[in-house]
Chain A
Amino acid sequence: MEKRRRLFPSAATVLVLALLALSAGSPFFCAPALAKKSKDATTPKSFLAARDGASADVAEMEQLAATAAAAANALPKSAGNLVTTRDGKPFFMLGVNLGNVKFLPFSKATQYTHTPAELQAILDGALRDIAAAGGNTVRFWLHIDGSSSPEWDPSTGLAAGVSPETLRDLKWFLQRARDNRLEVILSLWSHDILAVRRCNPPATRDRALRIWEDPAATDAYIQRALAPMMADLGASKMTDGRSFLQGGVFSWEIANEPEEACEELEFNTNYQYKVRE
């Protein structure tokens, strides 16, 4: 009965709602969180120029140049329906996800009751077993929700870098995967940034979420964490002489199921709550 009563708003509520509806043009409804962000702050100058029609040739030229450079750079990345390895061999990916377990860095994987050596042994056995079963690909997670890596600047809340421990352990993993002739799809982020987990306090979620919401945070992550990490991987050699970019990471995955963290797409399988504004 109480529930039914609540379905019918009181007269006062109706009055208030009507007044609010009449004032729909007021800035009250232009809540900053719901208003669409201006693209101008996020898009590069050339793209804006192209959009505005001022000098469309510049942007198109850049795009052509980029396309041509990418095409001319290396072997084709795919052949028909298959993706090729860095050697240019198309192959059918057969394998297993290692799961969204925060392994890296081993020293920081304190949410699990394992020592770093135990974690290494767990991963070692997994790679060996998957290869023995005939798999050729594994999918592995790096940042997930950003609680273990990358490093964060506490004053600004922006990404500050990838720690040497993370790089060392990542390279250890990539080398072991190569030893087992496994290709690695390295997933950077995951919808887990919103998951309600006790090992994942809200501060962690907010700063990781900011990378997706704030262009400045995105750029900070790229410049301070992603680019240095890739430079390090490119400069480090595997045992076969190739760099870790050439022989270690088969494919980069920007995020695992980012749609599940998206309000617009109404997935909502992960929760972080805020008061409706």
Chain B
Amino acid sequence: MTEREGEREREREEKNKETRNNSHSFSLSKKTKKQLTRGEYAFSNPGAFNSDPRRKSDYQDIAFMQKDMQRVDSSDSSQVRRRREGGFWGGGSSKGKKTHLFFFHSFFSLFKKKKKQAIYYGDYFLKTWQGKDFFNWYLYHDVFGQFNSDYYYLLDQVKNRGLVTKGIRSAYNIQRTVNRLAGAIKRADPGARVTVGSDSTSWISDRQLTLQPWRPKNRNLYSDAALVGAGGDPLGTLDFYQAHCYPDWSDPNVNEFDRDKVVFHRDKSYWGLDKPLLAGEFWDAVAGGPQGRNPLTPEAWHGLAAKGYAGGLGWAWFDVREQPGVALASPWRYVVKHAMQDHWIALMREVRNRMDNPAYAFKALRLYPNAALSGASEEGAAAAPSLDAALSANATGSSSAAALPGAPIAPPDVGFVSAVEDAAAARLRAAAAAKQAAQEAAAASSVQARDTRVLAVVVPRDGGGNEDPTKATALSAADVERMVAERTAAALSEDAASEETAAGEEEEDGLLEVLQAVAEASALTAPSAGDRAPPLVASASSWGAPSPRGPSWTRVFGSSESPVEGFGTEADAYGFDAEAWGPDQA
């Protein structure tokens, strides 16, 4: 035995000791298991559950409880119930007899008075602490053999017995906590991205997906308004949404509504979101098909990009396995490769090939050039325009740019180190950069026209801490932008001066400090506004936090359905501008 093995052996022994001392963990002998399944364990081992002598008087209750639960539990399984109670298909009275007179016994068992097996104590026992302990123990027994419990069938049984699930009591609590944590993260790092791995699209969208009225209403739990309203922290918002996209959630019968929750079937615009949406988890299956699970293809995964999603992450790379035969309280648990791991590797390779190959992107663009080029309206865009029309429009060059509703977003580097960095792509980037520069220049020239509106009014406080509206100073958006720019430049120069200082703290309240400084200054110079105080905040909504790149396109085509499998209607998902691709890509 090597030294390392000896060390492991000692660790295992310690774990075994812990296991024995842990009242929530058991290792059972074969005999005990047999007794448990028969409901005889408490009778033949009266002290088994009761290390505490006070509990010994309750062992009968435990036994009754156990019997009772066993009966109800088996009622889920018609096979077991028939075998125990008898019935039309046999069992019951004919048990143990050599000759099974099938119809005879089953018929007469209908009239046979059954022996009462247990006294029903109602929910009384469960409300005692012994009952709670026992029930937890019971559930451990039934559930904890799995790494994660999804035994929904236990739920009704539990609820009928006076127990309810314990958890986060309301969605408000989720929203509040998310808001607080997100705000704290952004205070520590204003550039941080924050998201929540939502269970499904039901909870990131107001779109109603189900007609089952007994279910909670779908809604976007994580919109800015919802989060700030719950937690009160204006910084505590998400930067992108995330939904998990399994074809069915614990539901063997995938219906139409569940199908619609799966992103592979829907454009991103279907959810009506104001932020990017990541498909955070999915199996190698999508909804649909005879079994409700069509295989996930590289086209479908790659198609997420064309449908407007921010990405797709498969589930999962790792799994946890336990020592076979010691499912209960096994101290030997291993991190193993997930059964889908090889599949993920193969799928990701294919998707990556498609991403790196501009032919795929161009194929999508050729089928669905953008609406501005084709003149397709939001409503009538079922049919894609012809290739010739698209190419001739492309050939006209940048003249069509004026028809665009907003500035086109710059064709981004898609984030991959593309092996296909050819001359066409370089031209594309150069054209886009020039266009963006022009756009920024235009935006800068229009700043004055845009920003004369009063954004905010700073009201200084006097020595007593009271606001003095007569000394208010109006700030336009241009003022704020200028001050922020000055402050940013100052901070940058400070950083450059002292690189070693830890960044982050001084950026925290930058604008607030500016506003306070303005308030202090204006306390001396602001003229009196007469008997009517000016509005303190002119229009909160007029400040749209404009992106330096201008508004981005949200939709290119009107149809939310994809006419061709695997390709979405939002051809700008990569940010590639169809016109910039040009006809030489054909």
Chain A residue, CB-CB nearest to B340: A96
A201 touching B276, Cβ below 8 Å: no
Determine how close the nearest CB of chain B comes to the CB of A177; give it in whole angstroms. 13
**Taking the complex as formed, is B248 at the interface, i.e. its CB lies under 8 A from any CB of chain A?**
no
Determine how close the nearest CB of chain B comes to the CB of A61; give it in whole angstroms. 6
B552 touching A230, Cβ below 8 Å: no
Chain B residue, CB-CB nearest to A134: B352
In the complex, chain B residues whose CB is within 8 Å of the CB of A213: 168-169, 173
A89 touching B412, Cβ below 8 Å: yes
Determine how close the nearest CB of chain B comes to the CB of A180; give it in whole angstroms. 12
Determine how close the nearest CB of chain B comes to the CB of A209; give it in whole angstroms. 7
How many Å lie between the Cα of A104 and that of B290 in the bound state? 41
Given contacts A262-B168, A272-B166, A273-B164, contact A234 B574 (CB under 8 A): no
A47 touching B135, Cβ below 8 Å: no
A266 touching B195, Cβ below 8 Å: no
**Taking the complex as formed, is A258 at the interface, i.e. its CB lies under 8 A from any CB of chain B?**
yes
Given contacts A70-B190, A70-B235, A266-B216, contact A254 B177 (CB under 8 A): yes
Given contacts A83-B239, A92-B311, contact A44 B216 (CB under 8 A): no
B244 touching A257, Cβ below 8 Å: yes
**Taking the complex as formed, is A95 at the interface, i.e. its CB lies under 8 A from any CB of chain B?**
yes
Given contacts A254-B194, A268-B165, contact A139 B313 (CB under 8 A): yes
Cβ contact of A134, chosen from B190, B268, B328, B348, cutoff 8 A: B348
**Taking the complex as formed, is B59 at the interface, i.e. its CB lies under 8 A from any CB of chain A?**
no
Binds A, one of B148-156, B443-451, B521-529: B148-156
**Taking the complex as formed, is A265 at the interface, i.e. its CB lies under 8 A from any CB of chain B?**
yes
In the complex, chain A residues whose CB is within 8 Å of the CB of B575: 79-80, 82, 90
Cβ contact of A133, chosen from B349, B409, B457, cutoff 8 A: B349
Cβ contact of B166, chosen from A74, A119, A194, A260, cutoff 8 A: A194
How many Å lie between the Cα of A129 and that of B72 in the bound state? 48
Given contacts A66-B235, A97-B317, A250-B193, contact A269 B163 (CB under 8 A): no
**Taking the complex as formed, is B127 at the interface, i.e. its CB lies under 8 A from any CB of chain A?**
yes
B198 touching A273, Cβ below 8 Å: no
Binds B, one of A108-116, A147-155, A161-169: A108-116
B333 touching A112, Cβ below 8 Å: yes
- Count of chain A residues with Cβ under 8 Å from any Cβ of B? 134
How many Å lie between the Cα of A114 and that of B4 in the bound state? 12
Question: Which A residues from 192 to 236 make CB contacts under 8 A with B?
Answer: 192, 194-199, 201-202, 209, 211-213, 215, 218-219, 221-222, 226-227, 230-231, 234-235
In the complex, chain A residues whose CB is within 8 Å of the CB of B390: none
A64 touching B193, Cβ below 8 Å: no
Cβ contact of A89, chosen from B178, B310, B413, cutoff 8 A: B413
Determine how close the nearest CB of chain A comes to the CB of B319; give it in whole angstroms. 7
B169 touching A265, Cβ below 8 Å: no
> Which interface residue of B180, B182, B198 has the most chain A CB atoms within 10 A?
B180
**Taking the complex as formed, is A176 at the interface, i.e. its CB lies under 8 A from any CB of chain B?**
no
**Taking the complex as formed, is A252 at the interface, i.e. its CB lies under 8 A from any CB of chain B?**
yes
Chain B residue, CB-CB nearest to A266: B216
**Taking the complex as formed, is B532 at the interface, i.e. its CB lies under 8 A from any CB of chain A?**
no
A6 touching B120, Cβ below 8 Å: yes
Cβ contact of A74, chosen from B135, B190, B199, B278, cutoff 8 A: B190
**Taking the complex as formed, is A179 at the interface, i.e. its CB lies under 8 A from any CB of chain B?**
no
In the complex, chain B residues whose CB is within 8 Å of the CB of A110: 11, 15
**Taking the complex as formed, is A62 at the interface, i.e. its CB lies under 8 A from any CB of chain B?**
yes
**Taking the complex as formed, is B10 at the interface, i.e. its CB lies under 8 A from any CB of chain A?**
no
**Taking the complex as formed, is A20 at the interface, i.e. its CB lies under 8 A from any CB of chain B?**
no
B184 touching A226, Cβ below 8 Å: yes
A81 touching B170, Cβ below 8 Å: no
Question: Which B residues from 233 to 247 make CB contacts under 8 A with A?
Answer: 233-235, 239-240, 242, 244
- Count of chain B residues with Cβ under 8 Å from any Cβ of A? 166
B173 touching A65, Cβ below 8 Å: no
Cβ contact of B349, chosen from A62, A134, A253, cutoff 8 A: A134
Determine how close the nearest CB of chain B comes to the CB of A12; give it in whole angstroms. 12
B165 touching A62, Cβ below 8 Å: no
How many Å lie between the Cα of A90 and that of B412 in the bound state? 6
**Taking the complex as formed, is B265 at the interface, i.e. its CB lies under 8 A from any CB of chain A?**
no
In the complex, chain B residues whose CB is within 8 Å of the CB of A97: 280-281, 313-317
**Taking the complex as formed, is B382 at the interface, i.e. its CB lies under 8 A from any CB of chain A?**
no
In the complex, chain B residues whose CB is within 8 Å of the CB of A99: 315-319, 338
Determine how close the nearest CB of chain A comes to the CB of B478; give it in whole angstroms. 12
Binds A, one of B33-41, B368-376, B540-548: B540-548
How many Å lie between the Cα of A160 and that of B478 in the bound state? 45
In the complex, chain B residues whose CB is within 8 Å of the CB of A90: 412-415, 575
A264 touching B180, Cβ below 8 Å: no
**Taking the complex as formed, is B254 at the interface, i.e. its CB lies under 8 A from any CB of chain A?**
no
In the complex, chain A residues whose CB is within 8 Å of the CB of B305: 92
A230 touching B244, Cβ below 8 Å: no
In the complex, chain B residues whose CB is within 8 Å of the CB of A192: 148
Question: Which B residues from 158 to 183 make CB contacts under 8 A with A?
Answer: 158, 162-174, 176-178, 180-182
Determine how close the nearest CB of chain B comes to the CB of A34; give it in whole angstroms. 8
In the complex, chain A residues whose CB is within 8 Å of the CB of B553: 80
In the complex, chain B residues whose CB is within 8 Å of the CB of A2: 71, 120
Question: Which B residues from 406 to 424 make CB contacts under 8 A with A?
Answer: 409-410, 412-417
In the complex, chain A residues whose CB is within 8 Å of the CB of B171: 259, 262, 264-265
**Taking the complex as formed, is A249 at the interface, i.e. its CB lies under 8 A from any CB of chain B?**
yes
**Taking the complex as formed, is A94 at the interface, i.e. its CB lies under 8 A from any CB of chain B?**
yes
Mask, A1-38, CB within 8 Å of B = 1, is 11100100000000000000000000000000110110
**Taking the complex as formed, is B285 at the interface, i.e. its CB lies under 8 A from any CB of chain A?**
no
B333 touching A111, Cβ below 8 Å: yes
Cβ contact of B144, chosen from A85, A114, A196, cutoff 8 A: A196
B188 touching A230, Cβ below 8 Å: yes
In the complex, chain B residues whose CB is within 8 Å of the CB of A42: 176, 231-232
A72 touching B132, Cβ below 8 Å: no
B174 touching A212, Cβ below 8 Å: yes
Cβ contact of A94, chosen from B242, B351, B417, B552, cutoff 8 A: B351
> Which interface residue of A94, A212, A246 has the most chain B CB atoms within 10 A?
A94
**Taking the complex as formed, is B515 at the interface, i.e. its CB lies under 8 A from any CB of chain A?**
yes
**Taking the complex as formed, is B459 at the interface, i.e. its CB lies under 8 A from any CB of chain A?**
yes
Mask, B573-585, CB within 8 Å of A = 1, is 1110000000000
Binds A, one of B88-96, B256-264, B503-511: B503-511
Cβ contact of B189, chosen from A212, A219, A245, cutoff 8 A: A245
Q: List 29 A-B contacts (CB under 8 A).
A: A43-B232, A44-B232, A62-B512, A63-B228, A65-B511, A68-B480, A68-B543, A69-B511, A73-B191, A73-B507, A80-B572, A81-B309, A94-B348, A97-B281, A99-B317, A122-B335, A133-B344, A136-B416, A139-B197, A196-B143, A209-B166, A213-B173, A221-B181, A222-B184, A226-B188, A230-B184, A245-B504, A262-B168, A262-B171
6 A-B pairs with least C-beta separation: A91-B415, A93-B311, A134-B352, A47-B232, A57-B536, A230-B188
Excluding A134-B352, A253-B195, 7 further A-B contacts by CB distance (< 8 Å) are A81-B309, A82-B575, A115-B4, A134-B355, A259-B174, A268-B155, A273-B139
